[in-house]
């Protein structure tokens, strides 16, 4: 059974205030406990307003490392690059930003790109203090999609933090192979938040939570494997 606390907001600005409060709390707790903090954050449309809010907070950003839950295997300056977006949103905070994908071309082999990401993550202090997930309307989370690499991302060795994946079917709006944190890497975080917007995603997430560990939806599988407290932040628009 998945136990999660839901928080509902009318718009993304009010959601951003609350999520920023909670992320600040997680960072402060990690800094007090172990002197540094590691966050794995979602790509997509939700983080911009939240990072804008976090940027106003007095946080010891020089002790904070931020990596991504997933990225697309595209050149560094491509508009589909989650790391390019993260750099725009959080570059000025002074946190250390760690990419999953660097210097790639769209034709790079996903498996090799995934291994390179995994090697880069070996230097970080896993598990993350916070895993911050988004979700697509199809129930994918991070870049765990149905397809030939689903099993690898979900059932691979616990020590493997990142793998390369080829979504199948390929999302028409953001067509690219990906690197994703694996289910064990995502589910092992000390705290978990999910940020989503809109009625379609709400219904999908409610279904995934009801299905639990047997869910066919990637988000259901990840949340069912998570032992940390899960907070879901939903905005109507």
Q: Which residues bind ligand LXAUTJHC (CB under 6 A)?
A: 42-46, 69-70, 82, 134-136, 142-143, 174
DSSP state of 15: H
Q: How far is the CB of 62 from ligand LXAUTJHC (least distance, A)?
A: 26
Do residues 194 and 230 lie in contact, with contact meaning Cβ atoms separated by under 8 Å?
Answer: yes
Query: Tokens in use for 191?
Result: 């705290």
Nearer to ligand LXAUTJHC, 18 or 28 (CB): 18
Which helix (H) or strand (E) covers residue 195, if one does?
strand 192-197
Which of 28/231 has CB closer to ligand LXAUTJHC? 231
Q: How far is CA 227 from the centre of its chain?
A: 16
β-pair type (130-133, 37-41): parallel
Instruction: Tell me if the bond preceding 82 is cis, omega within 30° of 0.
Output: no
For residues 1 and 237, which CB has a smaller minimum distance to ligand LXAUTJHC in the complex? 237
Q: Which is nearer to ligand LXAUTJHC, 62 or 76 (CB)?
A: 76
CA pair distance 29, 10, nearest whole angstrom: 29
Residue 30 Cβ, how far from ligand LXAUTJHC at the closest point, in Å? 22
Nearer Cβ to ligand LXAUTJHC, position 43 or 184? 43
Minimum Å gap between C-beta 203 and ligand LXAUTJHC is 15
CB of 93 to ligand LXAUTJHC, least distance (A): 19
Smallest gap from residue 57 Cβ to ligand LXAUTJHC (A): 23
Q: Residue 44 or residue 188: which is nearer to ligand LXAUTJHC going by CB?
A: 44
Cβ at position 135, least distance to ligand LXAUTJHC in Å: 6
- Nearest CA-CA partner of 54 in 12, 78, 89, 98: 89
Residue among 89, 182, 73 at smallest CA distance from 127: 182
Query: Cα separation of 69 and 101, whole Å?
Result: 11
- Closest by CA to 91, choosing from 130, 45, 54, 142, is 54
The nearest distance, CB 205 to ligand LXAUTJHC, in angstroms, is: 12
Q: Which pair of structure tokens corresponds to residue 162?
A: 């990142």
- Cβ distance to ligand LXAUTJHC smaller for residue 73 or 142: 142
């Amino acid at each position: 059974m998945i136990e999660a606390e839901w928080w509902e907001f009318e718009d993304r600005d009010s959601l951003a205030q609350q999520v920023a409060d909670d992320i600040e709390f997680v960072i402060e707790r990690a800094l007090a406990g172990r002197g540094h903090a590691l966050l794995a954050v979602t790509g997509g449309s939700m983080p911009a307003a939240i990072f804008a809010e976090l940027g106003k907070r007095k946080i010891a950003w020089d002790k904070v490392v931020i990596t991504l839950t997933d990225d697309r295997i595209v050149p560094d300056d491509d508009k589909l690059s989650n790391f390019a977006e993260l750099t725009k949103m959080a570059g000025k905070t002074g946190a250390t930003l760690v990419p999953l994908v660097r210097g790639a071309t769209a034709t790079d082999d996903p498996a090799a790109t995934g291994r390179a990401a995994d090697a880069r993550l070996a230097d970080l202090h896993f598990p993350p203090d916070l895993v911050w997930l988004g979700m697509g309307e199809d129930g994918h989370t991070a870049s765990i999609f149905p397809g030939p690499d689903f099993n690898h991302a979900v059932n691979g060795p616990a020590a493997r933090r990142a793998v390369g994946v080829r979504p199948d079917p390929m999302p028409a709006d953001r067509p690219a192979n990906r690197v994703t944190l694996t289910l064990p890497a995502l589910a092992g975080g000390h705290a978990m938040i999910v940020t989503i917007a809109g009625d379609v995603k709400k219904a999908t997430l409610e279904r995934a939570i009801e299905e639990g560990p047997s869910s066919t939806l990637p988000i259901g599988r990840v949340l069912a494997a998570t032992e940390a407290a899960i907070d879901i932040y939903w905005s109507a628009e």
